[in-house]
């Protein structure tokens, strides 16, 4: 993993690892970055289409951003402008899910000058990125913990779209806020109910019912309150490619959301056709694993929580999470390079859990925020 080298005000990196994180932190900090040696040893060197699409999206929500790309795409310079926001439409690359782009927007949205109203089109679920359903249930729930008033924060799924052609459409709206608040959240609580949605696009509606039946068969062994709805998308709402998938989430008595998802294989990419029963069971098992990992946020929401803790007021914030993901570890390093923020990372074990031998080992993250303020927001 390459670490940043400062040259004047510009931070230099090598390779495409954690590109999205570095672009987001560049916009928030106002520090330009230069990234070189992007896939120089690959058969197809340089930036991929989805990475160029992300840079274009960041350019749309900012004013005055400067991007300089070399001829081969193996090196680029990014000087961020001011976060402006407003109403934007963006056609995402189908190489990655809409969730790849939404993650970046969720990290930046509160600090825009105008409330964000973004319409994104593309693939709504794949096997790499968090789906739009996961962002709607889990990540937005994590985001709400850092603000007092969440009025105007919403994510609407207008159309769903699967690989390879996509055709999905979502609308993300977010208000602007001047500052975040510190949190001290150490107890994830006990799971009280499981909810979910199964969807079948351009295939038999029976596929959704078969996924629901198998997933419920697994989850009802652990708790009785399980309800999974079916989303029967028709016509344009079903996107451009056939496929099916299921999204599940468990809610605790402390308001924590753990989520999981599974989608069918992309047959056009020479993958074996999926059985709906296998998809349903895999999603249920993944949800149980997320519950086992525990903490006060889903594993996919760790990065968002860590970022907001660092940007919070000059006060102590503490959260307990499951084992740190590689993405979170990379973010902790990047935050130190862009903002000089360091976290105290400790082993944490709830006494009750330790006595009963349940759950995985937890991590206690502690930091003092930098007091980041939205300088663009108009104040009375």
| Domain termination residue (choose one: 293, 317, 347) | 293
Q: What DSSP element (H or E) covers 135?
A: none
Q: Could you tell me how far CA 15 lies from the centroid of its own chain?
A: 22
What mean pLDDT is predicted for residues 80-101? 96
| Domain termination residue (choose one: 266, 293, 320) | 293
Is 303 domain-assigned? Answer: no
Is 41 domain-assigned? Answer: yes
> With bands split at pLDDT 50, 70 and 90, how would you rate the model's confidence at 110?
very high
| Domain termination residue (choose one: 81, 108, 133) | 81
Query: What is the model's pLDDT at position 349?
Result: 75
Query: For residue 353, is pLDDT > 90?
Result: no
- Per-residue model confidence as pLDDT tens digits over 139-170: 999 999 999 888 999 999 999 999 999 999 99
- Per-residue model confidence as pLDDT tens digits over 226-259: 999 999 888 889 999 999 999 999 999 999 999 9
* Planar angle of CA 163, 168, 172, nearest 5 degrees: 130
pTM flag (> 0.85): yes
Is 377 domain-assigned? Answer: no
| Residue from 211, 167, 215 nearest 194 by CA | 215
Query: What is the model's pLDDT at position 346?
Result: 95
> With bands split at pLDDT 50, 70 and 90, how would you rate the model's confidence at 126?
very high
- Number of Cβ within 10 Å of residue 12's Cβ equals 15
Is 367 domain-assigned? Answer: no
Q: What is the CATH number of the domain that holds 199?
A: 3.30.360.20
- Per-residue model confidence as pLDDT tens digits over 275-315: 999 999 999 999 999 999 999 999 999 999 999 999 999 99
Cβ pair 200, 263 in contact under 8 A: no
Is 175 domain-assigned? Answer: no
What mean pLDDT is predicted for residues 4-28? 92
DSSP assigned state of 268: G
Domain count for the chain, please give it.
Answer: 2
Q: Could you tell me how far CA 14 lies from the centroid of its own chain?
A: 24
Q: Could you tell me how far CA 210 lies from the centroid of its own chain?
A: 28
Is 116 domain-assigned? Answer: no
Domain housing 76: 1-81
| Residue from 42, 45, 44, 39 nearest 15 by CA | 39
Cα–Cα dist 221/282, whole Å? 15
Query: What is the model's pLDDT at position 4?
Result: 76
Sequence-ordered list of residues with C-beta below 8 angstroms from that of 293, at least 6 positions apart, any chain: 299, 322, 323, 359, 360
- Per-residue model confidence as pLDDT tens digits over 171-191: 999 999 989 999 999 999 999
Is 348 domain-assigned? Answer: no
Cβ pair 304, 144 in contact under 8 A: no
| Residue from 120, 124, 96 nearest 109 by CA | 120
**Helix/strand/coil percent split, the chain, to 5:** 30, 30, 40
Is 334 domain-assigned? Answer: no
């Amino acid at each position: 993993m390459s670490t940043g080298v400062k040259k004047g005000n510009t931070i230099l990196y090598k390779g495409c690892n954690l590109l999205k994180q570095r672009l987001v932190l560049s916009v928030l900090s106002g520090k330009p970055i230069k990234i070189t040696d992007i896939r120089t040893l690959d058969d197809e060197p340089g930036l991929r289409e989805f990475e160029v699409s992300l840079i274009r999206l960041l350019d749309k929500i900012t004013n005055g951003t400067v991007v300089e790309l070399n001829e081969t795409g193996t090196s680029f310079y990014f000087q961020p402008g001011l976060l402006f926001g407003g109403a934007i439409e963006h056609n995402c690359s189908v190489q990655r899910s809409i969730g790849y782009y939404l993650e970046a927007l969720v990290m930046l949205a509160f600090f825009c000058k105008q409330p964000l109203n973004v319409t994104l089109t593309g693939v709504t679920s794949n096997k790499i990125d968090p789906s739009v359903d996961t962002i709607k249930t889990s990540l937005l729930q994590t985001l709400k913990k850092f603000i007092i008033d969440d009025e105007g924060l919403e994510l609407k799924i207008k159309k769903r779209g699967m690989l390879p052609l996509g055709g999905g459409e979502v609308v993300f709206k977010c208000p602007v806020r001047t500052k975040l608040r510190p949190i001290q959240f150490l107890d994830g609580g006990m799971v009280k109910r499981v909810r979910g949605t199964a969807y079948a696009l351009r295939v038999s509606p029976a596929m959704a019912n078969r996924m629901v039946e198998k997933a419920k068969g697994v989850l009802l062994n652990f708790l009785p309150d399980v309800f999974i709805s079916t989303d029967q998308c028709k016509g344009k709402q079903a996107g451009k490619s056939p496929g099916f998938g299921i999204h599940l989430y468990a809610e605790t008595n402390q308001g924590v959301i753990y989520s999981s998802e599974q989608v069918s294989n992309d047959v056009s990419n020479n993958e074996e056709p999926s059985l709906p029963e296998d998809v349903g069971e895999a999603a249920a098992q993944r949800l149980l694993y997320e519950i086992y990992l525990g903490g006060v946020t889903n594993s996919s929401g760790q990065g968002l929580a860590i970022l907001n803790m660092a940007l919070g007021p000059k006060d102590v914030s503490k959260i307990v999470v499951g084992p740190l993901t590689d993405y979170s570890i990379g973010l902790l390093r990047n935050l130190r390079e862009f903002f000089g923020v360091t976290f105290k990372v400790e082993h944490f074990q709830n006494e009750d859990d330790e006595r009963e031998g349940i759950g995985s080992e937890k991590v206690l993250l502690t930091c003092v925020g930098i007091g980041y303020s939205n300088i663009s927001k108009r104040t009375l």
